[in-house]
Amino acid sequence: MSDQAISIIFFVLIIALTLGITVWASRKNKSTSDHYVAGGEIKGWQNGLAISGDYLSAASFLGIAGAISLTGFSGFYLSIGFLVAYLVVLLLVAEPLRNLGKYTFADMLASRFNKSSVRSAAALSTIAISMFYMVAQLNGAGALIELLLGINYTLSVIVIGILMTFYIVAGGMVATTWIQIVKAVLLIAGTLTLSFLVLAQPSIGFNPINLFNEVDSQIGSEMVVPPPPAGLVAGLDVISLNIALVLGTAGLPHILIRFLTVPDAKTARSSIVTATWIIGLFYLLTPVLGYGAALFVGQDAIAKQNPAGNTAAPQLAEALGGPIFFAFISAVAFATIVAVVAGLVVAASSAFAHDFYSNVIRGGEASEQEQLRAARFTAVGISILAILLAIPAASLNVAFLVALAFAVAASANVPVILLTIFWQRFNTTGAVTGILVGLISCIVLIILSPNVMTGPNPEPPLTPIIPIEAPFPFVYPALFSVPLGFLGCYLGTLLGGRGAEREREQGVQVSYDEIRVRSLTGISNIEQEIHEATPQEEPRTT
Amino acid sequence: MERQDEWIRVERTSAFKELVQKRKAFIIPATIFFLVFYFGLPFLTAFTTVLDANVIGAINLAYIYAFAQFVMTWVLMHIYVSRANRWDDLVDRARREAAEGDETSDTDGAGRSE
């Protein structure tokens, strides 16, 4: 039997086992209690694992390893930014969100602005962000299957896309928390083993410093040293990338949903601690994977298989661990992609079904069954669109595509989320304009940039989709689109200035006093809770 | 209107004011600190070459700075969580204080918040 046949057989076995466990676990989960209640009972560490599972996508595993293997230090920015972003989430967003929200991030905005226009705008940005993210994941899946089966990229993307959609629509919706936990454990085990194999090579001898020395002497110091300053535009582009990375997480709908599945702010906090340790340790190992692949697979072999390096990690597994380990790592990567796509589809389709279809189109009167049907149709529609968009993205790095999704999240969602929590004068008009200005400016800037049109810089190596010269020279839009998002919120608020008071009188905007108390204390049903807190016996203090 | 007064009553408790003040005193400087620390790395690498010097073998200052960001994230996270866990008591106290106010001076409370 050929090595490839062994790999394929093991790959299929591992995937079947993983999905089987997931379905079994979720059935069990379903019978014990209702889906939302189960959500409310999720423990901190479980939620932390699920957050890690949602977060460590194909971008982290395939994309960053590939980017470091081909470009060295600049690939590591992604690791740092993806991690430090959790400080923004922890310090500024997670607890107020937990205290204000219900099921989706739009609910949190709606807790203050009870207008369907806010929900519609939030649903729109959720779908746009999920779309970018899904294109990235399908791009990774396509590259992986191309490597494993030797079929071409376009066919891989179509087949994988259809399989995933089928899995999710046919009943995977409830399973997402479990698939994240199973996959997070597998991914960590796989990454640790792969890193161990790299460090165990005779030339490294379990000393990470030797890894850097080897790369420096075998490949060249430009792989270890940050790329030299290349002028103002290139420099600002690096800053722009980092703005998107550090702010984006706080605006990712599928991550924000995770903070709404825990019982209180304290659990939200402890789940971030678990997630940040797991995610941080994982990212700390990305240079080992990336440099390991550059040394033991070779940059030429990586770039030949996939010009963006998306298959560096599985190729490394094949080179160091043989066909079975290769199958294992590929299966882990594949499960990662299925899990993340599942989470994204759930976030996007619930945004559409819950926030738009039910609350806006049907005026809150859609039955549960109608909502579910709307969610399924949305899931299929979104998947088809993502497949179509993933096909021309073949030559792009997964992590790069995800960085663009982060830019959209940072521009459209983060300003509105922060101002809803912290700005007293903020109003409905401001929230809607903020989301739309951030979203539209970010997407327009991406279209006008060298990502889509012909750019001046050969790096990153991009094939133009529209072959005219790009009027916007930056690859990453966040430097401009995030301030524009804030400006949209501010100007919209000024425009609707008097409106806010009228809204409050009409009862469509809640007072900031309530938002402030709720976001900081988690009190939601004030009459009842104050009543319960009335001292029955002697007060404990003084 | 009455519902509104209940929120204001919580907002006016000394425990709630203390909570707001303590959170502000920690979160504002901490956020400024980590953002400056975070953006320091891309600024220095994108516009200068000061971080190119090797420190240990081929590991240069830029990598040391990068690894320091991991340590910074974990340390700041734990400092925040240990404080925030203590602040949770203030939330309970605010609830009790608001409730006590409710018991003793119901009509007074409503009048004050006008």
Q: What angle do CA A345, A333, A387 make, to 5 degrees?
A: 40
Question: Of A112-116, A146-150, A353-357, A503-507, which one has max mean pLDDT?
Answer: A146-150
CB contacts, 8 Å: B62 with chain A:
73, 225-226
Closest CA to A391 of A156, A168, A61, A204: A156
Range with the poorest average pLDDT among A166-175, A179-188, A431-440? A166-175
Residue-range domains of chain A with CATH? 3-521 (1.20.1730.10)
For chain A, how long is the longest CA-to-CA vector?
A: 79
Averaged pLDDT for residues A358-385: 79
Task: Give the DSSP H or E segment for A68.
Answer: helix A65-71
Neighbours of A323 (CB within 10 A): 20
pLDDT surpassing 80 at residue A265: yes
Task: Give me the pLDDT at residue A449, please.
Answer: 86
**Domains in chain B: boundaries:** 14-104
Exposure string for A11-31, b = 16+ CB within 10 A, e = fewer: beebbeebbeebbebbeeeee
Task: Give me the pLDDT at residue A516, please.
Answer: 85
As a whole number of Å, the end-to-end CA separation of chain A is 79
The interface predicted TM-score of the complex, written ipTM, equals 0.89
Of A92, A246, A522, which is closest to B38 when you measure between CB atoms? A246
Going A363 to A369 to A374 to A375, the CA torsion angle's sign is positive
Q: Which residues pair with A469 in a beta bridge?
A: A454
Question: Of A152-156, A217-221, A490-494, B30-34, which one has max mean pLDDT?
Answer: B30-34
Mean pLDDT across chain A, nearest whole number?
A: 84
Alpha-carbon distance of A208 to A292, in angstroms, equals: 11
Q: Which residues pair with A72 in a beta bridge?
A: none
pLDDT surpassing 50 at residue B113: no
Task: Give the DSSP H or E segment for A532.
Answer: helix A526-533
- A440 contacts A510 by C-beta, under 8 angstroms: no
Task: Give me the pLDDT at residue A78, please.
Answer: 93
B7 vs A498, residue with greater confidence: B7
pLDDT band at B111 (very low <50, low <70, confident <90, very high): very low
CB contacts, 8 Å: B17 with chain A:
none
Question: How far does B23 lie from chain A, in Å, by closest CA?
Answer: 9
Alpha-carbon distance of A346 to A502, in angstroms, equals: 36
Task: Give me the pLDDT at residue B1, please.
Answer: 45
**Which of A210, A242, A530 is the mutation pick for testing B, counting most B CBs within 10 A?**
A530
Task: Give me the pLDDT at residue B24, please.
Answer: 93
pLDDT surpassing 70 at residue A463: no
Phi, psi of A51 (to 5 degrees): -60, -45
Alpha-helical (H) ranges within A172-311 are: 176-199, 208-218, 231-248, 253-256, 265-284, 286-293, 299-305
Alpha carbon A27 to its chain centroid, in Å, reads 26
Q: Global pTM?
A: 0.88
pLDDT band at A370 (very low <50, low <70, confident <90, very high): confident
Neighbours of B99 (CB within 10 A): 20
Cross-chain residue pair A517–B10, CB shorter than 8 Å: yes
Question: Of A136-140, A259-263, A408-412, which one has max mean pLDDT?
Answer: A408-412
pLDDT band at A456 (very low <50, low <70, confident <90, very high): low
- A137 contacts A160 by C-beta, under 8 angstroms: no
pLDDT surpassing 80 at residue A460: no
Closest CA to B10 of B92, B107, B111: B92
Task: Give me the pLDDT at residue A34, please.
Answer: 41
Task: Give me the pLDDT at residue A534, please.
Answer: 57
Closest CA to A26 of A180, A256, A165, A166: A180
**Which of B37, B79, B90, B91 is the mutation pick for testing A, counting most A CBs within 10 A?**
B91
- A210 contacts A203 by C-beta, under 8 angstroms: yes
Alpha-carbon distance of A296 to A317, in angstroms, equals: 10
- A122 contacts A355 by C-beta, under 8 angstroms: yes
Q: Tell the residue number behind the tokens 């101002």, with chain if given.
A: A419
Of B4, B58, B74, which is closest to A216 when you measure between CB atoms? B58
Helix, strand, coil share (%) of chain A residues, nearest 5: 80, 0, 20
Task: Give me the pLDDT at residue A40, please.
Answer: 55
Task: Give the DSSP H or E segment for B59.
Answer: strand B59-60
Which residues, including other chains, have CB under 8 Å from residue B33's CB and lie 6 or more apart?
A: B76
Cross-chain residue pair A73–B62, CB shorter than 8 Å: yes
pLDDT surpassing 60 at residue B106: no
Exposure string for A89-99, b = 16+ CB within 10 A, e = fewer: bbbbbbbbbbb
Question: How far does B58 lie from chain A, in Å, by closest CA?
Answer: 5
Q: Tell the residue number behind the tokens 């279809």, with chain if given.
A: A357
DSSP state of A391: G
pLDDT band at B107 (very low <50, low <70, confident <90, very high): very low
Task: Indicate the pairing of strand A466-469 with strand B59-60.
Answer: unpaired
Averaged pLDDT for residues A22-43: 54
Question: Residues of chain B with pLDDT > 70: what percent?
Answer: 86
Label residue A487 exposed, middle or buried (CB < 10 Å: 0-12, 13-18, 19+): middle
Q: Which amino acid is at A360?
A: V
Which residues, including other chains, have CB under 8 Å from residue A352's CB and lie 6 or more apart?
A: A123, A127, A374, A375, A378
Alpha-carbon distance of A4 to A404, in angstroms, equals: 34
Neighbours of A421 (CB within 10 A): 21
**Which of B59, B87, B102 is the mutation pick for testing A, counting most A CBs within 10 A?**
B59
pLDDT band at A542 (very low <50, low <70, confident <90, very high): very low
pLDDT in tens, B51-105: 999 999 999 999 999 999 999 999 999 999 999 999 988 888 888 888 777 544 4
Alpha-helical (H) ranges within A363-496 are: 368-390, 398-412, 414-422, 428-447, 478-495
Among chain B residues, the shortest Cα distance to A81 is held by: B38
pLDDT surpassing 70 at residue B109: no
Q: Structure tokens of A85?
A: 């972003």
Task: Indicate the pairing of strand A466-469 with strand A453-454.
Answer: parallel
Question: Residues of chain A with pLDDT > 90: what percent?
Answer: 38
pLDDT in tens, A38-68: 445 667 888 888 889 888 888 888 999 999 9
pLDDT in tens, A420-454: 999 988 888 899 999 999 999 999 998 898 877 77
Of A213, A277, A533, which is closest to B96 when you measure between CB atoms? A533
- A353 contacts A99 by C-beta, under 8 angstroms: no
Question: How far does A123 lie from chain B, in Å, by closest CA?
Answer: 29
pLDDT surpassing 70 at residue A32: no
